[in-house]
Amino acid sequence: MKFVYPEHHLVKNGTLTNCQICNSSKMNLILDLGNQPLCDSLLSKEMLHSPEITYPLRMLWCQDCCLAQLDYCVDGADVYHPDYPYRTGITRELVEYLKSMSDSLISKYNLTNNDLVVDIGSNDGTLLSGFKEKGIKIIGVEPTNISKIANEKNIETFQEFFTNDVANNIKSKHGTASLILATNMFAHMATIGEVVSGIETLLKDDGVFVFENHYLLDVIQGGQFDTIYHEHLRTYSLKSLIKLFSYYDLTVTDVERGSRYGGNIRVHVTKGKDKPVSENVSLLLKLEDESGLYDLKTYEKFAERVKKAKTDFMNFVLTVKKEGKTIVGNSCPGRCVTLLNYYGIDSDLLPFIAEQPTSLKLNMFLPGKQIPIVNNEILLEQQPDYVVLLAWHYAKPIMEQLKERGLKSSFIIPLPDLTILEN
């Protein structure tokens, strides 16, 4: 069966003028971060002297459905290229989080070995492994070469972009799914209609789609402009999600807030209309309204806060440099590309970014500013005066781990507000 979905739910490459969810033309420019490279298109040493491709990076806000979104869409094949370097399984805190997520969902939906769980954007299979341990049938869908790592761990993974055709293929081979998952990818895909109709196809009657993403309220309240990059085509409010699923035979039935990514939303979507809805949904909609999320002035204040964050950070870095002190970076999440390119921080100001020895990003260079990415053992060898925690949303465990290994540096947390933790 081929589902028909709204034409605007196939987001076209290039400049966008209408809302990606409701097609409204009532769009407001909130933040212009300039032209920037793709955050996960890292540079090899051989590429440093070749021109880089950059794209507009602007955040718009829809007055009608309260969706924050980019006004330029880059081809998904360029964004999620075969050598895409992000891996879920190398961050201990994330591994633990995803295990707790699988345990929670198994309990909530009483999943057994008769159920099938499908993860869209399954990466290296870390989330699915928690279901597999409990004997539940699992399938991953992952477009990049990271899928090979999952298959090597005996987590069956289709190396594909998720579409209605892929959904039908899985359905014919494995049957319908009790639970479909998407963690930090549902905002990524331009093919909204294909993805949602595929979910509709693959879910069994009363099956549930559960996804997590950055949450607009947390992004705005926390000044988290670094969550804006070309992978994140949309930053959802709950209001915008309810509008999205109203176009399909699906209902938002529950919602939870969490602290992942600096503030995330976990949304439960049940197949069918007129399903029982948790009071969590109405309570969060009320909070969005009371917090000013539906008011343009809130976004204007957010933009001013971003400009101030840039000024504060640059003033501090330049002062440190004038004093002859050393300052370096630690951790290289995709979001740091936005921050460093917008701030204008290059290798003269930040000579390197230290990463875990298992990272696929080692010995590469940051897109745009070409800062080298090196093994974090160098921190212990050099003991710099200051270390900027670019994965600031994991600041506490990162600091603890580095201190345990003998790092004596002071730490800089760049967001939500510039914080200096002197040693």
Domain assignment present for 302 = no
Q: 78 falls in which pLDDT band (50, 70, 90)?
A: confident
Three-state SS annotation for 346-410: CCCCCCCEEECCCCCCCCCECCCCCCEEEECHHHHHHCCCEEEECCHHHHHHHHHHHHHCCCCCE
Based on the fold, state whether residues 379 and 253 are members of the same structural domain: no
Based on the fold, state whether residues 138 and 207 are members of the same structural domain: yes
- Number of domains forming the structure of the chain: 2
Global pTM reads 0.91
Domain boundary among 272, 294, 316: 294
Based on the fold, state whether residues 286 and 330 are members of the same structural domain: no
pLDDT surpasses 50 at 1: no
pLDDT digits (tens, 9 = 90+) for 101-147: 999 999 999 999 999 999 999 989 999 999 999 999 999 999 888 88
Based on the fold, state whether residues 284 and 337 are members of the same structural domain: no
Domain assignment present for 67 = yes
Based on the fold, state whether residues 333 and 285 are members of the same structural domain: no
Based on the fold, state whether residues 383 and 259 are members of the same structural domain: no
Domain assignment present for 269 = yes
Domain assignment present for 317 = no
Residue with tokens 């954007």: 121
CA–CA separation, 12 and 7 (whole Å): 10
Residues 9, 11, 13, CA angle at the centre, nearest 5°?
170
pLDDT digits (tens, 9 = 90+) for 11-41: 999 999 999 999 999 999 999 999 999 998 8
Based on the fold, state whether residues 282 and 390 are members of the same structural domain: no
pLDDT digits (tens, 9 = 90+) for 329-370: 999 999 999 999 999 999 999 999 999 998 889 999 999 999
Long-range Cβ contacts of 393-397 (<8 Å, 24+ apart): 393/260, 393/261, 393/262, 394/91, 394/93, 394/331, 397/92, 397/93
> How many other CB atoms sit within 10 Å of the CB of residue 310?
15
What is the rounded radius of gyration, in angstroms, for the C-alpha atoms of the chain?
Answer: 21
pLDDT surpasses 80 at 83: no
Q: 319 falls in which pLDDT band (50, 70, 90)?
A: very high
**What domain range is 329 assigned to?**
324-421
What value does the mean pLDDT take over residues 203-221? 96
Phi (first) and psi of residue 307, to 5 degrees: -65, -40
pLDDT digits (tens, 9 = 90+) for 144-190: 888 898 899 999 999 999 999 999 999 999 999 999 999 988 999 89
pLDDT surpasses 80 at 262: no
pLDDT surpasses 80 at 84: no
CATH number of the domain where residue 52 is located:
3.40.50.150
Based on the fold, state whether residues 253 and 371 are members of the same structural domain: no
Based on the fold, state whether residues 265 and 408 are members of the same structural domain: no
Q: What is the pLDDT of residue 274?
A: 87
Phi (first) and psi of residue 353, to 5 degrees: -120, 125
Verify cis geometry, omega within 30 degrees of 0, for the bond prior to 82.
no
Between the CA of residue 115 and those of 161, 272, 388, what are the distances in Å?
23, 19, 45
CA-CA-CA-CA torsion for 283, 289, 290, 295, nearest 10 degrees?
A: 160
Domain boundary among 294, 310, 344: 294
The mean predicted confidence, pLDDT, of the chain is 93
Domain assignment present for 164 = yes
pLDDT digits (tens, 9 = 90+) for 65-74: 999 999 999 9
Domain assignment present for 315 = no
Based on the fold, state whether residues 139 and 20 are members of the same structural domain: yes
CA nearest 107: which of 140, 141, 137, 136? Answer: 136
Q: What is the pLDDT of residue 157?
A: 93
Q: Which amino acid is at 130?
A: G
Between the CA of residue 350 and those of 117, 154, 174, 210, what are the distances in Å?
43, 41, 50, 39
Domain assignment present for 203 = yes
Based on the fold, state whether residues 285 and 336 are members of the same structural domain: no
Based on the fold, state whether residues 273 and 342 are members of the same structural domain: no
Element (H, E) at 320: helix 296-322
What value does the mean pLDDT take over residues 386-392? 96
CATH number of the domain where residue 386 is located:
3.40.50.720
pLDDT surpasses 50 at 390: yes
Domain assignment present for 314 = no
